Amino acid sequence: MGRLLEWTAGWLRGREADSPRLDAEVLLASVLGCQRIELYTRFDEVVADQPRAAFRELVKRRGNGEPVAYLTGTKEFFSLPFRVSRDVLVPRPETESLVVRALDLCRGRAAARIVDVGTGSGAIAVALARHLPDASVTAIEISPQAAAIARENVETHGVADRVQVLEGDLLSGLPEEATFDLIVSNPPYIREDEFAGLPRDVRDFEPRGALVAGPRGVEPLERLAAMAADRLVAGGWLLVEIGPQRASEEVLEAAPHLEPAATLADDAGMPRIVQARRR
């Protein structure tokens, strides 16, 4: 097994994988149905023909750029495992900053009402529900295929009694009278002219509609900000993940009845979360 991992990591390195050794270990552990740490206790074990063939096929696909999360069907987010497919974006570590800020705002609020706009896999909605046991969360997703994945994750994590997944464009799928303490969203924020320059594992495999915002990269944020005040209670918050190069504060300043607050940085020090409060 050790020699197999070494050879695979070297081959993936030659295919310009960002983390070849980690990729090899995750794929092999997935095929063997074990935890990655267990590989080190089985280092001298010979992998049988059937799992070796399955591993070889996954490695080939990874070498062609397909994300490891799609190959294994799972991705960890906020220390929770999530089912993913090519119908949803792969949850990313930087988005955890959005969850952390949302938790900070909701702690101390009794029975917080939250809406996650463009929920994708449901990672944000589920993470919030797991850490806020009194909260109710509405997750909205425009893609029926992505909404199905979100519902599966909601069921898997045992929060179906408090997380409702709706299908709709931004806030348009909500009941007319629904209002919230918090709106969170990780919307598309890639400009159309940036798409061709994305890494191939993103450009060629992740859903384009969840990535590309439009010519300026802020179009979904503009639409959401314009709707937000009517759905927020007085003092309620809007939190939106942005691309580091987007001039998103200006969008919030132009939105009616919203008072922008300081943009928050992610763990890498890059501008990541724009926020505004309902006046």
Return the sign of the alpha-carbon dihedral for residues 127, 128, 131, 136.
negative
Helices (H), the chain: 2-14, 20-32, 49-63, 68-72, 96-106, 123-131, 144-156, 200-203, 219-231, 249-254
With a cut of 70, list the residues of the chain below it in pLDDT. Answer: 246-247
Q: Are strands 258-265 and 80-83 parallel, antiparallel or unpaired?
A: unpaired
DSSP state of 144: H
Helix (H) or strand (E) holding 174: none
Range 91-96 contact pairs with CB under 8 angstroms and sequence separation of 24 or more: 91/120, 91/121, 91/123, 93/267, 94/241, 94/266, 94/267, 94/268, 94/270, 94/272, 95/123, 95/124, 95/186, 95/241
Q: Which pLDDT value is given to residue 246?
A: 66
Q: 263 to each of 174, 178, 271, how far by Cα in Å?
A: 27, 27, 6
Q: Which pLDDT value is given to residue 247?
A: 63
pLDDT tens column, 23-52:
999 999 999 999 999 998 888 889 999 999
Cα–Cα nearest to 246, from 215, 277, 278: 215
Q: Identify the CATH number of the domain defined by range 86-278.
A: 3.40.50.150
Angle in degrees, 0-180, between the axes of helices 20-32 and 49-63, rounded to the nearest 10 = 140
Q: What is the pTM assigned to this prediction?
A: 0.94
Distance CA 73, CA 110 (A): 35
What residue ranges do the domains of the chain occupy?
2-64, 86-278
Q: Which pLDDT value is given to residue 210?
A: 97
Q: Which pLDDT value is given to residue 268?
A: 85
Three-state DSSP class for residue 108? coil
Three-state DSSP class for residue 30? helix
Phi/psi at 126 (5° precision): -65, -45
Q: Which pLDDT value is given to residue 200?
A: 92
DSSP sequence for 32-72: HTS-GGGGGGSTTPPPPHHHHHHHHHHHHHHHTT--HHHHH
